[in-house]
Amino acid sequence: QSALTQPASVSGSPGQSITISCTGTSSDVGGYNYVSWYQQHPGKAPKLMIYDVSDRPSGVSNRFSGSKSGNTASLTISGLQAEDEADYYCSSYTSSSTVFGTGTQVTVL
Amino acid sequence: EVQLVESGGGLVQPGGSLRLSCAASRFTFSSYAMSWVRQAPGKGLEWVSGISASGGTTYYADSVKGRFTISRDNSKNTLYLQMNSLRAEDTALYYCAKGTGTAARKPSDSWGQGTLVTVSS
């Protein structure tokens, strides 16, 4: 159960779009359409942003979108805003558990 | 709004045991899967365990399998995590989280504020 691989940091200017990748294997990301993304601000509990690869929970801005190709899932944040500065984690089913990604710190320049 | 309140954390010696509890309210507890997720100080999220809405199906991370046991009491709206043979690497903030459906590994759409477990001599 190795953690999924995410870039340590991604940055962008307000209004820009950024994409965070989440790379796994055919035993997790590539094998199931059950990838989720969470946002975590410092000192706060995580918040579900995307589930089942590309679905958004009610109340989550449509600036957040998810996709998957092969063993890599992606989270795109469009129209980047200051409030989007946070840590982001992907997660995926595996055959017998769930695994999180290594986490990506998003900085709004 | 969903409310999840964890308790039971604290300082324990290596090899010791702790039982975490998560009191749930403001939703129909028996209709949703629940999970425990932990976060070591300054580190990322680690999924620990999940349980189906009925309690009949459970899953564990390899790192805790055989040492931790997840359970729930739907009559008391409470989730538990029994942690035995604790190790220094189990030191973390433990979050209780509500799933989006009944299956044990559903994504978590509501989270508590966590309870801190410190394993040290």
Q: Are B79 and B22 in contact (CB under 8 A)?
A: yes
Average pLDDT, chain B: 97
Q: Are B10 and B91 in contact (CB under 8 A)?
A: no
Q: Identify the pLDDT of residue B9.
A: 97
- Residue of B60, B105, B106, B113 to mutate for A, most A C-beta atoms under 10 A: B105
Q: Are B116 and B6 in contact (CB under 8 A)?
A: no
- Among chain B residues, the shortest Cα distance to A59 is held by B109
Q: Identify the pLDDT of residue B50.
A: 96
CB contact under 8 A, B112 and A91: no
Q: Identify the pLDDT of residue B113.
A: 97
- Rounded CA-CA distance A26/B38 in Å is 25
Q: Identify the pLDDT of residue B97.
A: 98
Residues B28-47, mean pLDDT to the nearest whole number: 97
Can you read off the two tokens belonging to residue B2?
Answer: 């969903």
As a dihedral over the C-alpha atoms of residue B7, residue A94, residue A106, residue B115, rounded to 10 degrees, the angle is 10
The pLDDT of residue B98 is above 90: yes
Q: Identify the pLDDT of residue A96.
A: 87
Angle value at C-alpha A75, between A72 and A77, nearest 5 degrees: 155
CB contact under 8 A, A91 and B114: no
Q: Identify the pLDDT of residue A100.
A: 97
Kindly provide the residue ranges of all beta strands, DSSP E only, lying in B40-91, ordered along the sequence. 45-51, 58-60, 68-73, 78-83
